[in-house]
Amino acid sequence: MSPSRSSSVRSTSLRARLVAVLTGVTAVGALLAAGMTSAHAADTPLRDLAAAKGKIIGTAVTGSKLTGTYGDIAGAQFNSLTPGNAMKWGSVEPTQGTFNWTEADQIVAFAQAHNQQVRGHTLAWHNQNPSWLTNGSWTSAQLSSLLQNHIGTEVGRYRGKIAAWDVVNEPFNEDGTYRSTLWYNGLGVDYIASALTWARAADPAAKLYINDYNVEGVNAKSTALYNLVKSLKERGVPIDGVGLQAHLILGQVPSTLQQNIQRFADLGVDVAITELDIRMALPADSTKLAQQAADYKSVTAACVAVTRCVNLTVWGFTDSDSWVPGTFSGYGAATPYDENYAPKPAYYGIAEALGGTTTTPPPTTGGCTATYSVVSQWDAGFTGQVKIACSGASLSSWKVGWTYGAGQQISQAWNATCTQSGAAVSCANASYNEAVADGGSVTFGFNASWSGSNPVPTVTLR
């Protein structure tokens, strides 16, 4: 295609827009209908916006599709690629001792030609293993040498070409106990330390990660991961990062995402958002797409806010190459581009959080309301929350205020910055939740003291 990256993007999106017009849906139309932003962000590729913030932005890819528009977008917009399936054990060694590196090699070559990193995915997992491995009966000594050889062979083959490996994938159950797998059952918990150690030996330059899902917010599973990483570091086992997969549901970005990223960073490891997608019940409509834009924006902003959050990767950049419809029945439209390669509002949500220039219309408060409630109350304290919800309008930022009538005093707030002067309280959005989409809402919480009585004040939205 054309020689410079940005001109190639422009012609790509022009073509995408033509296709979109023919099918009757324009991405710009969806944006304006949702009261959001205009399409200028497309002029600067996401990879350039990310680079200016010191971040890497990636996408999972399918090797056979890396031509035409798919290849143009993958090459122009992203500076990291993750093979969606090509490096899994079942793909590379379908028959014991017979290897197929075709797709993995192709993706690595494409990445090198486009000045992109590669995230290797994945070495020790319970899914997508070859049947000869899962159906075999192995002693633990045999299992150990199978895994060691697999890691040595695959990591060794790509030595020096992979920025980071998801060495261990999905080791935990939801309650934070270890998942019962071939590896855990056969080798005990130290299969994790062994896998990391073997990977380090095979490519000392690659960053080594443990990757899992439902570990985006602070919860039992992410705390188990946290404790594992902490103990591995204390033991001197090579561990460089944690991957938060982030297969999310519309409107359900965990409110503790940034806090969770930060606590891993504070342990001295990097964090990557490795498989971001945000699924919605089909069919998509402009309200859902606007909420999705706000969700993509808040996830991206949480990564931008923490220095050690180094990479944000979407699990497929187009709805035509997403695992969601085939896996979560009735759900789809989970990625930043539609099936015709037109950028969706979600694309602009990412671009905005990366500092992309967009034109925001004057905020309207017409259809937005703020509702105050007491969530729990004890002796001298209580937890309250305020929900800001919009319908038929949207907000690009928000501020609420109220006056306490009975001496209540706020001590701490989350998901907003609150100040109290005398009886007057004023709370403003955090950096990651300023947008409230048409049909969407944002909630923040706080702790406060009370005595005598605790009446609910009247809240004004400014």
Q: Looking at beta carbons only, is 101 or 382 nearer to ligand XIL? A: 101
Our CB check for ligand XIL shows the closer of 322 and 433 to be 322
Shortest Cβ distance from residue 323 to ligand XIL (Å)?
4
Instruction: Tell me how far, at minimum, the Cβ of 317 lies from ligand XIL, in Å.
Output: 13
317-376 residues near ligand XIL, rule: CB under 6 A = 323
Minimum distance of ligand XIL from residue 359's CB (angstroms): 35
Say whether residue 59 binds ligand XIL (CB under 6 A): no
Considering the complex, what minimum distance in angstroms separates the CB of residue 169 from ligand XIL? Answer: 5
Give the residue, chosen from 84, 120, 171, 241, that forms a contact with ligand XIL under the rule CB under 6 A.
84
Q: Does 132 bind ligand XIL (CB under 6 A)?
A: no
Minimum distance from CB of 307 to ligand XIL (Å)?
25
Residue with tokens 């159906």: 135
Contacts of 177 (CB under 8 A, 6+ apart): 224
User: Nearer to ligand XIL by C-beta: 120 or 401?
Assistant: 120
Nearest residue (CB) to ligand XIL, 4 versus 127: 127
Alpha carbon dihedral 40, 244, 431, 386, in 10-degree steps, equals: 120
- Closest CB to ligand XIL: residue number: 323
Site size toward ligand XIL (CB under 6 A) is 6
Q: Which amino acid is residue 159, in one-letter code?
A: R
Q: Based on CB atoms, which residue is closest to ligand XIL, 3 or 330?
A: 330
Note whether 245 binds ligand XIL by CB under 6 A.
yes
Indicate which single residue of 37, 80, 169, 429 sits in contact with ligand XIL (rule: CB under 6 A): 169
What is the per-residue binding string for ligand XIL in 274-303, x denoting contact by CB under 6 A?
-x----------------------------
* Residue with smaller CB distance to ligand XIL, 84 or 440: 84
Residue of the chain from 85, 364, 409, 426 that contacts ligand XIL (CB under 6 A): 85
Residues serving a catalytic function are: 170, 275
- Least distance to ligand XIL from the beta carbon of 151, Å? 17
To ligand XIL, the closest distance from the beta carbon of 157 in angstroms equals 19
Interface residues with ligand XIL (CB under 6 A) are 84-85, 169, 245, 275, 323
